[in-house]
Structures are given as structure tokens and as C-alpha cells.
Amino acid sequence: MQHVKYPKQETWGALLKRPTQTVSDIEETVEIIFKEVQKNGDATIRNFTKKFDQVEMESSAVTAEEISIASNDVGAELKEAIILAKNNIETFHKAQKTDRLNVETMDGVLCWQEKKPIQKVGLYIPGGTAPLFSTILMLAIPAKIAGCSDIVLCTPPNKDGKIDSAILYTAQLCGVTQIYKVGGIQAIAGMTFGTESIPKVYKIFGPGNQFVTVAKQLATKHGVAIDMPAGPSELLIVADDSANPSFVASDLLSQAEHGPDSQVVLVSTSKTLLDQVAAEVQSQLEDLPRKDIAKKAIANSKLILMEDDQQALELINSYGPEHFIICSENENFYVENILNAGSVFVGNFTPESAGDYASGTNHTLPTNGYAKQYSGVHLDSFMKSMTFQKISERGILGIGNAIELMAEAEGLQAHKNAVTLRLKSLKS
């Protein structure tokens, strides 16, 4: 772990650079696969599944029988845990519902706003070394609450051509309508263009590696919306001597084990704490089943000593972490002044893992500094706002002349005429 003492502000950008490839490094690969899928559909999907996942399959669609078998394979205790998480996530996201907004802007001019569900959404669920069935809870639950009619899920198969049982159980529990054994770039391309089996969707959600992130960004060029750029996981913790070093170390490692390109950062005003956490990380690391993965991420991690809380906050806001943990006596200062973070975890007994699984908030969050301009997934991510207006005779008499004058000033005579004709009909 790299120890950094009182870094100057002009060095912050280089110091906190994410350990990721640039888009240009992988965009060519993504574009090639997109063009192939657009041209040849399922045949290309099968070819790339064989190439990347080392499995050959005639059909990528998951059957009802497979779902039934998988559901029976999930143990009772895990099912109870998933249901507990589901209930909390439902409670938090249902609370985000809003009523129709009605405003009479002037006498006879009624405007209102309603939210409508996005009809067809695609969910990408990473598989590989860590099948993230928890992400299904975070995406399918708000999609269902929003009223999305088609909820399509793609996730990579294992080398036996199967999907983790917990993924299939969670998907059917949360109302996913169609499931496909397709991963990576080809999954995003399939949902972007549609194939003989995979339907085209209007918006794609879900995290993934750098290739999936670039694929999602490319999908936007083909008329498909995405939730946000969501790449390798990252965590920043601010802590002082009031923090428990073992807790802090465990949180750093919880993100480091996601993948070798994950980034974890600890910021503190206490050198003693930084040293204690560094020792705890090395101790806890040895007991982790995924220690080889975590070690690679930890090699890119930073322990940063700052002079005071104000300077620490400025560094954190400039970084814009996906996950931000506050373990400080001055926690209110950070809570009230943090501007750029995907999700914030406050206090010694609020591990980031709680948000990943069961507290109720959503764990699909912006990474790579996008927290400066993107929100994490929430109920409105699955909806779009539509505005309506209804103008009475009294209303058009009140607003009409202003419209005529403005349209004429812009040189749009037909716009003016659309009002003038109505006004004349009322005066005749």
C-alpha cells in the first residue's frame, strides 16, 4: 500500500488516477463485436460466448425448468437473507414514488407532469468469479415497482453452460421476465440491437468490467439509454483516531476483492491510524479466499495523510468516489459538505457491505469520478417524466398575445398563426 503524506493539490489528479484502461484501448474491440452482432445476431452471440466463456450452446434462453431446479438448489437460509434484503430494498424504493404534479401557471393554463415506466429494460449481471445476484435485487426491484413491462436479464454462463442458482432464484423472485446466458460485450450488443432471441431494450442497467462499460457507452450511439458509466468498484474512507482500524481494513478489503482493477483509498488526519490500518490489511488479507485478487487491488491502493478535515474534504470531492465511508468524530462536517459521492456510509457500524446487500439503498453507482455528475440507480431511473398541458378559452386569451409576439420575433410565422386563428375564432 502506498503511503502519501500531505500531497499538494496539484498532484491530486495523478495521485488518485483510477487503474483502468482508457476507452481508446478497448473501443475498437467493442465496435467490432457490436457490428458483428448487429449483422448476424444469435450466430455471433454463440461464437463470442464460445470464445470468451469457453462454452458452446445452441440456445442462450433460460428455461422455466432451469429456474425451478436452481430455486430448489438455493438453501433456506440464503433464501431468507435474499427475501430480507428484497423487503428492505422494496421499502426504500417504494418510498421514492411521487404523485402527479399539477400547476395552473395562470388562469386557464393547466400544466402537469406524470411519470411513466420505461417499457423495456435490460439488466446486465456480472458473473465470472463472483456471480452478483445482489445486483438483480438492486435493478429488478425498482424496475418492477416502476411498472416496466419487459425486464430482460443477461448474465454470462459458466463453462458448463449454466448460471449460478442464486442468480436464477433471485431473478424469478424479483419479476424478471426473460433471462439469457450471455455476458460481456455481446450481451450489451444483443440488448442494443435485438437478435432472433434477445429482445431490443430501451435502456440498459448494470455494472461490469471496462469492456462492458465501454459497450454501454457505445450503445448510446444506437439509440439505447444507459443508467450510468459503471465500471470497476472503488471505495474511499475518511477516518480518524475514533475509527476502529480493523473495521476500516475490512472495508478496504471488501472492495479490493471485487477485482484487480478495483481501487481503495484511505484518507486520514492521523498517521497512527494509517499505520494501524495498513497492518490490519496485511493481517486480514491472508485469510481471504480471494486474496490473490485483493492483493493486486491493494497494490494500487493509497493511504493519504492530510493536514485537516477541510483539506481532506476537498480531496474527496475532487475524487468523487463511488462509495464513501465516514468514520470520524467530525462526521457531521463530512455529511453536510460532501458533494461528489455515489453512496455515503456514516459511522463505525455502517459497512459498505450493508449497502451492497440489504440496507435498502441501491448499490448500482457511478464510478471513475462520474459521481460528480451522475446519480446512482433509483426508482426514477426506470421512469421518464412526461409533461401535459390543457388550455381553456380563457387561458388562450390570456397567454395568446405573448405567444404571438415571441413567435414573430423569432421569425416563425406558422407558430404565430396557430394562436392567431384561435384568438380570432373566439372574437368572432
Q: Which sequence spans correspond to the domains of the chain?
A: 2-18+232-360, 23-109+116-227, 392-427
196 is in an annotated binding site: no
311 is in an annotated binding site: no
186 is in an annotated binding site: yes
CATH class as words, domain 23-109+116-227: alpha beta
3 is in an annotated binding site: no
209 is in an annotated binding site: yes
- CB atoms < 10 A from the CB of 301, how many? 22
CATH of 392-427, one of 2.60.120.620, 3.20.20.70, 3.40.50.720, 1.20.5.1300: 1.20.5.1300
DSSP assignment string, 299-365:
HT-EEEE-SSHHHHHHHHHHH--SEEEEESTTHHHHHHH--S-SEEEESTT--HHHHHHTSSS----
Tens place of pLDDT per residue across the chain (428 aa): 899 999 999 999 999 998 765 667 789 999 999 999 999 999 999 999 999 999 999 899 999 999 999 999 999 999 999 999 999 999 999 999 999 999 999 999 999 999 999 999 999 998 866 788 999 999 999 999 999 999 999 999 999 999 999 999 999 999 999 999 999 999 999 999 999 999 999 999 998 888 998 999 999 999 999 999 777 889 999 999 999 999 999 999 999 998 888 999 999 999 999 999 999 999 999 999 999 999 999 998 999 999 999 999 999 999 999 999 999 999 999 999 999 999 999 999 999 999 999 999 999 999 989 999 999 999 999 999 999 999 999 999 999 999 999 999 999 999 999 999 999 999 87
Residue 427's pLDDT is: 87
Catalytic residues: 322-323
Instruction: Measure the CA–CA gap between 356 and 352, rounded to whole angstroms.
Output: 7
CATH of domain 2-18+232-360: 3.40.50.1980
Residue 131's pLDDT is: 84
Residue 289's pLDDT is: 94
Residue 255 cell numbers, joined: 472492495
For 130-161, letters b (16+ CB in 10 Å) and e give ebbbbbbbbbbbbbbbbebebbbbbbbbeeeb
Residue 292's pLDDT is: 94
169 is in an annotated binding site: no
233 is in an annotated binding site: yes
Equal CATH topology for 2-18+232-360 and 23-109+116-227: yes
Residue 231's pLDDT is: 72
User: Which alpha helices (DSSP H) does 159-308 contain, by range?
Assistant: 165-173, 184-193, 210-219, 245-256, 271-285, 291-299
119 is in an annotated binding site: no
State the Cα torsion 328-333-336-340 to the nearest 10°: -70
Residue 18's pLDDT is: 86
